[in-house]
Amino acid sequence: MQNKFIGPGVYCTTTLTTADIEYIMPAQLILASASPRRSELLTQIGIRHLIVPVDIDETPLAEETPAAYVTRVAAEKSAVCQAILNQDLPILSADTSVVCDGHILGKPENIQQAIAMLSRLSGRSHQVYSAVSLRGDLHGQALSISQVSFRELSLEEIIAYWQTGEPCDKAGAYAIQGLGGIFIKTITGSFSGVMGLPLYETAHLLAQQDIKIIA
């Protein structure tokens, strides 16, 4: 069997597993988020990362605009993670909010809240704000704003959707990458931003820290 080159002085004659690759090629950054969607998006663009979630108070401040809110929360997440770990890897965090009529829609805690949120979004357009914060040699921030239009939803559909379990931990009570995608007529902006991590803006911040996606 032909040897496969892995790195300077390192060869392998077997197929590499994910664990092998992670051992040979260490993480490029820390993701300060428990969101599997953000981790999946980083993996999609080939960024090796460790996951270190942080817990902060995400209550909006009085008179705080949606843009200011998501930008502040994303920055606070990366700052808290950096203070806790005290290490050299860059730290990436993000925050995403669904906004309708200027009001931030959080994650539904029960079926009543989910019905209220999805009924509000039904047959209308709303905005999704996604902020990214990357702390390394410097602190970079970016904001993505997308416009999403829903078709009309029936109460029966909303209840059935809630029963799938998908809306429970999602801002605005839906997931564009899941079953919630069937509710969306149009989107103007960033699909990945609506998922939780706008890749265009993230790639720009990574480049500022000399983390290259495509060499």
The residues annotated as belonging to the active site are: 95
> Count of residues for the chain?
215
CA atoms within a 13 Å half-sphere pointing along the CA-CB vector of 39? 13
In the beta sheet, which residues pair with residue 150?
Answer: 184
φ/ψ of residue 164, rounded to 5: -75, -20
Return the C-alpha torsion angle 72, 193, 172, 61, nearest 10: 10
Contact 71, 141 (CB under 8 A): yes
Q: Is 146 exposed, middle or buried (0-12, 13-18, 19+ CB in 10 A)?
A: buried
Hey, how many other C-beta atoms are within 10 angstroms of the C-beta on 207? Answer: 12
State the amino acid at position 86 in one-letter form: N
φ/ψ of residue 138, rounded to 5: -140, 170
178: phi > 0 → left, psi -120 to 50 → alpha, else beta; which?
A: beta
